[in-house]
Structure 1
Amino acid sequence: MSDLGTARLLPWAGEAGKPCYLVTDGTGRLSRLADTVEAVQLDMADELLGHADDLLADRRATPDQLRFLLARMSEALTDVHRIAVSRGARMGTSR
C-alpha cells in the first residue's frame, strides 16, 4: 500500500452499518467528497449542540422533544466518533 497510502475510514457506513474504507493517497475525488461530508457532519453536530442548549433551557420542552433531540445527538455523536477514529488512524495514533 505504499504507492496508494493507507486505508481511510469513510464518514459513512455501508450495508448493515459496516464501516467503509478507501485505499487512497488522499488526493482523489472520493477523498475530497469524504472531506466535504466530514465538514458537513461536524457543522451539523455543532448546530445541534446549540439547539440542545436552547431546548434544555426551556422548561416547557416535552419528553417527545427531548427524546427526538437525544436521537439526533446520538446520530451526531456516532458521526463525530467515526471522524475522530478515521483522523486518528491517519495520524498514526490509536484510539
Structure 2
Amino acid sequence: MNDYAKGKMSENSDPDRKKYSIISNNCATFAENVITQDKSVDKPSSIINSPVNIVDEYQEEGNARVQYNAKTKTIIIGTGNEKDAKIKIKDNKD
C-alpha cells in the first residue's frame, strides 16, 4: 500500500498525469486504490465514484464507520460487520 501511495505521489510533478475528476479520479478513488492493494480488502461495487458515494458504499458493506471531528480533533471508529464480505481473509491457523 505504501509503495503504491508513494508511486502516486511521485506523479504530482507529471503534467501528463491523469486529471482530477469528481466522478473518476479523486481523493476517494486514491484512498480506495491504496487500501485495495491488500487483496483481502472487500471492495464494494460503486457506480458513482464520488468521494461521498465511495465512503457510503464501504459503510453499507459493513466496514467500520470512521468519523473525524475537526473541532475536537478526535476520531471515532465504529464496529464493522464483514459477514457479507466478498473477499475473506484466510485464517492462518491451519
Q: TM-score by structure 1 length?
A: 0.25
> As a proportion of its length, which structure holds more strand?
1
> As a proportion of its length, which structure holds more helix?
1
Bigger relative contact order, structure 1 or 2, given CA contacts below 8 A and separation 6+?
Answer: 1
Q: TM-score by structure 2 length?
A: 0.25
Larger radius of gyration: 1
